[in-house]
Amino acid sequence: MTESTRCELFRETAFDYLDGSLSRLDLAAFRRHFGECPACSEALRTIEGQAELLTALPRPAPPRDLAERVDRAVTDRRRLDQRPRPILKWAGLAAAAALLVAVVSALASAGPDRPRGGPTARTLRVVDVQLPGDPSVLGRLAPSYENPGGSLHGFLVSGPPSK
Amino acid sequence: LSEPSDPRETSRREDDELVRRARGGRADAFRSLYQKYQERVWATAYRIVGDRELASDLAQEVFVKAYEELTGFRGESSFSTWLYRIAANHAINKAGEIGRRTRLNEKFARERPDAAEPAGALDERVQRALGELSVKLRAVVVLRYLEGLSYEEIAETLDLSVGTVKSRLFLAHENLRPLLEDVRKDGTT
């Protein structure tokens, strides 16, 4: 075995030596080389000294607001999962619109004999459509009349109001 | 008489239980996990990127990513190794980006701890010396000596063989020699 091969083996086993995990045979070879090679013995002293120095360092203290920042980031991310997906939102809007149209149509179909309190320009208003538990407005339903204060003609559906 | 329990094994079992509950949608369980590990994740990022503010940003990103990927965590490694893998790779990538824009060791040299948390002279010397290492060597040193991971855990974290971990560590020690040989434990020269 050449000197450089022994040095290479030394490099490969230096950490096992320091951990005490070399076999008895390997340990003997390691020590023999360690005693004969000044460069390798110097390298081993360096490793031991630096390892001692580095492991003694305390973990650096994080900024005081770290916990709050991490908590906020994770909470914000979790909220994204809890919001209804757009397709569900539009399905909700469509269902709400269909229900409202059905109710008002039923009332409007009463014609001239409709009961008092039926849909007129005075009693029907613009309705914001929202999902239960969600304050955001998904869309608006507005009654449309043939003439001001006259009979109901239909409904206009619009998207969320602009901010 | 029962065997005294290994603290690492106890910690791992606790993590396994918290992960199981967090995957079941328990927000408090995931909160317990990040409260347990946030300082370690931050310290790892800080030692690798050399910037306290950036380390805080990285810590947030690491836990958001962990939250997103928790359902894919199959428990083949411990939760802590899995988390270190996300943190180390995130920090290594960020350090690489910074290194392409500026000399990272200049950043390490400028970085000072908070006024309220004065670090010792030794810590400052070590941090500057780490900034002189390539990010690949720095990551191995940080995980081994500052975070106390085993060679096997480092190999798993960085997706390397144990042999590569040891040869990188050996090279890191050689590179640190001129930077730290006059430093004693009290930080004086």
Query: Looking at CA atoms only, how far is residue A73 from chain B in angstroms?
Result: 6
State the average pLDDT over residues A42-46: 92
CA separation for the pair B127, B135 (Å, rounded): 13
Predicted local distance difference test score (pLDDT) of residue A109? 56
Q: How confident is the model at residue A52 (pLDDT cuts 50, 70, 90)?
A: very high
Compute φ and ψ for B77, nearest 5 degrees: -110, 175
Query: Looking at CA atoms only, how far is residue A13 from chain B in angstroms?
Result: 9
Q: How confident is the model at residue B115 (pLDDT cuts 50, 70, 90)?
A: very low
Q: Which residues have CB under 8 Å from B41's CB, separation 6+?
A: B58, B59, B62, B63, B83, B84, B87
Token duo for residue B61? 């990103």
Burial class (CB in 10 A: 0-12, 13-18, 19+), B141: buried
Predicted local distance difference test score (pLDDT) of residue B150? 93
Q: Name the H helices within B50-133.
A: 52-69, 79-101, 104-110, 121-132
Average pLDDT, chain B: 86
Best to test chain B binding among A8, A44, A66, A80 (most B CBs inside 10 Å): A66
Q: Taking the CB of residue B104, how many other CB atoms lie within 10 A of it?
A: 24
- Residues from chain B contacting residue A45 (CB–CB below 8 Å): none
Closest CA in chain B for residue A73? B60
Question: A42-46, A132-136, B174-178 — which is least confidently predicted?
Answer: A132-136
CA separation for the pair B7, B61 (Å, rounded): 28
State the average pLDDT over residues B73-99: 91
- Residues from chain A contacting residue B42 (CB–CB below 8 Å): 62, 66
ipTM: 0.83
- The answer on pLDDT for A115 being more than 70 is no
Taking only the tens place, the pLDDT of each residue in B116-125 is 344 578 888 8
pTM reported for the whole predicted model? 0.71
- The answer on pLDDT for A135 being more than 90 is no
Determine whether the interchain pair A50/B52 forms a contact, defined as Cβ–Cβ distance below 8 Å: no
- The answer on pLDDT for A133 being more than 70 is no
Q: How confident is the model at residue B158 (pLDDT cuts 50, 70, 90)?
A: very high
- The answer on pLDDT for B110 being more than 60 is no
Task: Assess contact for A108 and B101: CB atoms under 8 A.
Answer: no
In what helix (H) or strand (E) does residue A145 lie, and over which residues does it extend?
Answer: strand A139-145
Nearest to A54 among B61, B68, B141 (CB): B141
Query: Looking at CA atoms only, how far is residue B84 from chain A in angstroms?
Result: 15
Token duo for residue B47? 């030692």
Kindly provide the b/e burial profile for residues B160-180, where b requires at least 16 CB atoms within 10 angstroms of the residue's own CB. beeebbbbbbbbbbebbbebb
Please report, for chain A, the start and end positions of each structural domain, with discontinuous segments joined by +.
Answer: 3-56, 87-110+117-157
